[in-house]
Amino acid sequence: MSPFDPTREDRFTFGLWTVGNPGADPFGARVRPTMPPPYIVQKLAECGAYGVNLHDDDLVPFGASAAERDRIVREFQRALADHGMQVPMATTNLFSHPVFKDGAFTANDPKVRAFALQKTMRAMDLGAELGAKIYVFWGGREGVEADACRDPRTAWQRMRDAIDFLCGYCRDNGYGMKFALEAKPNEPRGDIYLPTTGHMLHFISTLQHQEMVGVNPEVAHEVMAGLSFAHNVAEAMACGKLFHIDLNGQKIGRYDQDLRFGSEDQKGAFLLVRLLEGTLGGEPYRGPLHFDAHAYRSEDEDGVWEFARGCMRTYKILKHKAQAFDADPEVREILAEQRDDTIDPLLVGGYSEAKATALRALDLDVDALARRGLRYERLDQLLVEHLLGVRG
Ligand code: GLT
Ligand code: MN
Ligand code: MN
């Protein structure tokens, strides 16, 4: 067994909708047949995944009878037990059905908003039955093309009302779930409300039960907005709000590609894994590592499992490289060069009169500071050499 083969301890998860993606796109039909959810569970377990996540409709087709639902859920639970798989996260499909064409929680028609809450309550019941402790909200249709249809502040308030209500529902039922809000700037809508993780973090601070709400950032979504994914994730971690994460690959300036993790922008992926694993010294992320991606349209079923194994292997390879990079004596030396143990304590923990006095008294050679080279060219080259496998 290779050290990069995934095991349950790695906490890797996939959505039913990810490996189950049949490869349709806006210009072409599906290229792969549908796989039954219990079969997906079995195959993911064989690949070394820890768990599987789902939307309500991924498992129970929209409009199924109560008896049919119960039979499907029972069979799924049997597959989970047989293969030792977990369902750490569940979510609601509030974007596929035509009823959501004007949004779900933000739609102008209150009947649509009421249906969105009904559907989410039912989907939360399902998630709870399967043991999910994280509940994701991706508002894919919560946006506009015809911006004149509502005051954007109204959309914001409706979103807040919906999440406040559902927090209450979750608490009332003792489900013990945490909510993770997922941002995206556009697609399928021209503009989606709350477009980045940073927007979500502020939105959360206005909620009634903000302690139970965090974020689910996705690589592709922040890269589409031209942002540094690692910086967004770092902000969420610093706020104690990284409750879940959607890993994949994306080229800037494209549609939402949801590519195999690490298949694009290996430097960005490296810096992300370094952050999540805390190899530089910070607190690591300990939640599930979810791949929200799918195989190329060129693939048959074998290609899908190759894709799944690739996501997990690349994560582990990058983890190994991040550990080697942060243990590299030359890297450590460059990072240590600018430390100053007498000045640093003056700059943290807020104001005091004593600190102000000490700061005023410091004799700083600004010209020397301005002249000094910081050796970041060397640092970055070391990173590249670690990544390209000629060092460490
Ligand atoms: C959909 C979307 C993803 C979300 C999923 C959860 S569904 O595939 O593109 O980014 O995370 O609703
Ligand atoms: Mn996602
Ligand atoms: Mn995506």
What confidence tens digit (pLDDT) does each residue in 142-187 have?
A: 999 999 999 999 999 999 999 999 999 999 999 999 999 999 999 9
SS3 content of the chain, % helix, strand, coil (to 5): 50, 10, 40
Determine the distance from the C-alpha atom of residue 191 to the mean position of all C-alpha atoms in its chain, rounded to a whole number.
20
Q: Which entry of 55, 244, 290, 386 is annotated as an active-site residue?
A: 55
Domain boundary among 323, 348, 373: 323
308 and 334 both lie in a single domain: no
Question: From the CA of 241, how far away is ligand 1's center (Å)?
Answer: 19
DSSP 8-state code for residue 249: B
311 and 369 both lie in a single domain: no
In a domain, 319, yes or no: yes
pLDDT value, residue 189: 98
Pocket test for ligand 1, best of 119, 138, 186 (most atoms within 8 A of CB): 138
What is the chain's alpha carbon radius of gyration, rounded to the nearest angstrom?
A: 23
Q: Is the per-residue pLDDT at 289 higher than 90?
A: yes
369 and 312 both lie in a single domain: no
Instruction: Write out residues with Cβ below 6 Å of ligand 1.
Output: 17, 55, 91, 136, 138, 182, 218, 246, 292
Q: Is the per-residue pLDDT at 23 higher than 90?
A: yes
H or E stretch at 53: strand 51-55
370 and 288 both lie in a single domain: no
Domain hosting 348: range is: 329-387
Q: How confident is the model at residue 78 (pLDDT cuts 50, 70, 90)?
A: very high
Q: Is the per-residue pLDDT at 24 higher than 90?
A: yes
Q: Using CA atoms, how far apart are residues 195 and 260, in angstroms rounded to an integer?
A: 23
Q: Is the per-residue pLDDT at 1 higher than 90?
A: no
275 and 344 both lie in a single domain: no
Contact 196, 229 (CB under 8 A): no
343 and 226 both lie in a single domain: no
From atom 7 of ligand 1, which residue's Cα is the shortest distance away?
138
81 and 127 both lie in a single domain: yes
Instruction: Please name which ligand lies nearest the alpha carbon of 139.
Output: 1
Count of C-beta atoms within a 10 Å radius of residue 28: 9
DSSP per-residue codes, 67-127: HHHHHHHHHHHHHHHHHT-B--EEE---SSSGGGBTBSTT-SSHHHHHHHHHHHHHHHHHH
In a domain, 2, yes or no: no
Looking at 173-300, list the stretches that DSSP marks H as alpha helix, in order from N- to C-terminal side.
Answer: 197-204, 219-224, 229-238, 266-277
Question: From the CA of 258, how far away is ligand 1's center (Å)?
Answer: 10
- Which of 314, 359, 324, 360 shows the shortest CA–CA distance to 340? 359
Task: Give the contacts of 46 (CB within 8 A, at least 6 positions apart).
Answer: none
55 is catalytic: yes
In a domain, 178, yes or no: yes
Instruction: Please name which ligand lies nearest the alpha carbon of 95.
Output: 1
Q: Using CA atoms, how far apart are residues 223 and 258, in angstroms rounded to an integer?
A: 11
- Which of 166, 202, 211, 69 shows the shortest CA–CA distance to 126? 69
Q: Count structural domains, the chain.
A: 2
58 is catalytic: yes
H or E stretch at 46: helix 37-47
Domain boundary among 308, 323, 338: 323
In a domain, 258, yes or no: yes
Percent of the chain at pLDDT above 70?
100
Q: Using CA atoms, how far apart are residues 288 and 291, in angstroms rounded to an integer?
A: 10
pTM of the shown model: 0.97
Q: What is the mean pLDDT of residues 4-11?
A: 98
Q: Which entry of 5, 25, 57, 58 is annotated as an active-site residue?
A: 58
Q: Using CA atoms, how far apart are residues 316 and 321, in angstroms rounded to an integer?
A: 9
289 and 335 both lie in a single domain: no
Pocket test for ligand 1, best of 57, 124, 182 (most atoms within 8 A of CB): 182
In a domain, 267, yes or no: yes
In a domain, 392, yes or no: no
H or E stretch at 15: strand 12-15
pLDDT value, residue 371: 98
DSSP 8-state code for residue 348: S
pLDDT value, residue 392: 81
Domain boundary among 323, 339, 354: 323
Return the CATH number at 312.
3.20.20.150
Mind listing the pLDDT tens digit for each residue in 329-357?
999 999 999 999 999 999 999 999 999 99
Q: What is the mean pLDDT of residues 285-297?
A: 98
Mind listing the pLDDT tens digit for each residue in 210-251?
999 999 999 999 999 999 999 999 999 999 999 999 999 999
Q: Using CA atoms, how far apart are residues 191 and 86, in angstroms rounded to an integer?
A: 35
- Sign (positive/negative) of CA torsion 379, 263, 52, 207? positive
In a domain, 382, yes or no: yes
Q: Using CA atoms, how far apart are residues 81 and 97, in angstroms rounded to an integer?
A: 31
Instruction: Please name which ligand lies nearest the alpha carbon of 53.
Output: 1
338 and 212 both lie in a single domain: no
344 and 292 both lie in a single domain: no
Q: Using CA atoms, how far apart are residues 171 and 353, in angstroms rounded to an integer?
A: 45
Q: Using CA atoms, how far apart are residues 218 and 197, in angstroms rounded to an integer?
A: 9
In a domain, 3, yes or no: no
Longest Cα–Cα distance in the chain: 78
Looking at 242-352, list the stretches that DSSP marks H as alpha helix, in order from N- to C-terminal side.
Answer: 266-277, 301-327, 329-336
Q: Write down the mean pLDDT value for the chain.
A: 98
Q: What is the mean pLDDT of residues 351-370?
A: 98
338 and 239 both lie in a single domain: no
Q: Helices 37-47 and 301-327 meet at what angle, rounded to 10?
A: 40
- Sign (positive/negative) of CA torsion 182, 29, 60, 36? negative
285 and 336 both lie in a single domain: no
